[in-house]
Structure 1
């Protein structure tokens, strides 16, 4: 049985949004598709618990048009969903985010990692940015634990802010299993996704029967990326980059965060926990991977007040928070206005295009806020 989507529809005007600005944003997305930058895309904008815009563009797969039910690879947008699972463990008293990870994952202390906290992990200060979990371990929880416990430090924990593309959230997955006894995919679905009413449109670990809904991910030359297009990759629920969802599901997830952990009357987290998670823990320190200050929270990053920004829109309120998916997507919430936004596409573009594209598209969404 398909459950009703938790965000009811409303007109932009009813939500204090300028439809002409949203239309301009959509025309930019259409222009990029016409220019061959990506075959398809989807965008959603929500405010105050209602959906103002949800549109699909172009093709999800060769010869198959994108539809409202198309599922898009979220890449690193997945990181915030996985981080929310750690927030939930803290909310439920199973961990403290100030704890050393090794207190909850014995063996992690190997190679000098004994004092790394969850805060350092989630703000990309853990000190092992290049570490990886091989595909051969994705479905083997014992092997995952062995691999993450064996990560070697590249720098002293806390000494540098450098984005961890994959490693940090595999540690989170291992902690979830160690603390709850559940696979991270099952826990995230039970504790975060299902209570929000998003079980039909948001997945960390895509069930086999849902693979037909998945958009292919492409390289800029139009070829389908591998291993992203394989059943194994889709099923693995890679915790830092393997989720799938619709744009309206991601806009709804961020609505829940913008509204203090509640969506359509269903609460997953407390307002205090959300406030704690979306503080700026790294100040204006430069993230060495991105080469700008990212203002890291415990999962998402914030706009902050520096001149340069990434993905959230240059004119965003400083408290706006969110995350991107490499070369293809960005999702965010502005807790001051109550607006949430999700843009998903199916080409992993280089950042020379993706960065300016997302700054423009996100800024156009912010300019639609009229009250």
Structure 2
């Protein structure tokens, strides 16, 4: 059979009950929040239909409305149900950690915003003010705000094509990025920076904050928010809790292969495989390797929705949150992703009449991670959501089923 016709899918049983775990202690009755129970259950039914595509070995979902948990559930397995995998099923818990991939960008950006809040930098400062060597080839003009909004002119370079072992050499990565020539010398064109900008932003945190990123993430976010994981990579002792990422569905063919490579720098399957490698899980990739549970992520976005506070703890000031989510420019065609998008300094923004987070989500802010991981907050709906998953697929059916989940969420949680 030709490679492009091969389809890898999860073995999906007729009845899914044995694969579903619900945290009943966490979920509050929908009626208490003025929601219709049938519509809330329709959201989970849509998630189950997403699982039935056979494209997702593991899915966790946490939905908060007005700060209260409406859904906290998991479907699938940590191990034992991936395509071609034979062995006992290891149950998946709603609090299982998963890699956030590019949704890590939104979390890491908050470290920069914390430094701005403390008066140690301004978003309109030039990057080169803190990393002088970044000024090469005209990049002295790039501000921190532009760096976080994918306007630094270095969306991809050879960094992503040299294998996961390069991720262990932080100083070399930063030096390569500082020496890189921008594709747009005027820095007017928006182009999604899959990994590159994260390393430069991380170096700013190190130099200005005088702290390593794992400790900053722990001290400034994970600890005050009471998060279970939220780490760059994951400790070896926790690896058995982390479901591996898996390529599912049909193999991508040209021109899709070229499109994917232009974003992540390597072939699709190679990128997925690298995400399970020790070099990826044992180092710091600010834009791509935070591991957290869906509840951890939902708590971060609920904190932002609350103006920087959660459970009586003020993590960020309201003005800091406002700066973090305010748009940088308007809707613009992204030269990397080939779609129109709006960014803030660290977040992908929603749109009307439909956007990344479903119908009528212009006020929403969050981030997409490697095809189908989604995390966001929507002030208009008093909603914070984390939808984490491990299947990496280009199958149209997966996109359609994911869209159905977003539509069901919008219907279940109307504007307030």
Contact 2:150 2:193 in 1 (8 A): yes
Find runs of 4+ consecutive structure 1 residues off by over 4 angstroms: 221-224
TM-score normalised by structure 1 residue count = 0.91
What residue is the counterpart of 2:394 in the other structure? Answer: 350
CA displacement, residues 1-31 of structure 1 (integer Å, 9 cap, x when unaligned):
xxxxxx9652222223332222112112212
Contact 2:53 2:397 in 1 (8 A): no
Cα RMSD of the aligned pairs, angstroms, is 2.2
- CA distance, structure 2, for counterparts of residue 142 and residue 237 of structure 1: 12
- CA distance, structure 2, for counterparts of residue 97 and residue 341 of structure 1: 27
TM-score normalised by structure 2 residue count = 0.82
1:218 lines up with 2:262 in the alignment: no
Cα 1:244–1:353 shift into 2, 3 Å = farther
- CA distance, structure 1, for counterparts of residue 299 and residue 235 of structure 2: 21
Contact 1:60 1:346 in 2 (8 A): no
CA displacement, residues 168-191 of structure 1 (integer Å, 9 cap, x when unaligned):
111111111111232212211211
- CA distance, structure 2, for counterparts of residue 108 and residue 84 of structure 1: 21
What residue is the counterpart of 1:314 in the other structure? Answer: 359
Q: CA deviation at 1:32?
A: 2.3
Contact 1:327 1:351 in 2 (8 A): no
Secondary structure at the aligned position of 2:132 is classed as coil
Cα 1:94–1:352 shift into 2, 3 Å = farther
CA displacement, residues 124-143 of structure 1 (integer Å, 9 cap, x when unaligned):
11111112365344333432
Q: CA deviation at 1:60?
A: 2.1
Contact 2:30 2:70 in 1 (8 A): yes
- CA distance, structure 1, for counterparts of residue 165 and residue 57 of structure 2: 31
Secondary structure at the aligned position of 2:95 is classed as coil
- CA distance, structure 2, for counterparts of residue 12 and residue 157 of structure 1: 51
User: Which structure: greater helix fraction?
Assistant: 2
Larger radius of gyration: 2
Would you say how many aligned residue pairs link Structure 1 and Structure 2? 362
What residue is the counterpart of 1:244 in the other structure? Answer: 291
Q: CA deviation at 1:289?
A: 2.5
What residue is the counterpart of 2:58 in the other structure? Answer: 40
What residue is the counterpart of 1:3 in the other structure? Answer: none
Q: CA deviation at 1:41?
A: 0.4
Q: CA deviation at 1:337?
A: 2.8
Q: CA deviation at 1:367?
A: 1.2
Matches within 5 A, 1:1-371: 9-62=27-80, 63-131=89-157, 132=159, 134=162, 135-198=164-227, 200-221=228-249, 225-305=272-352, 307=353, 309-310=355-356, 312-316=357-361, 318-350=362-394, 352-370=396-414, 371=416
Contact 2:55 2:398 in 1 (8 A): no
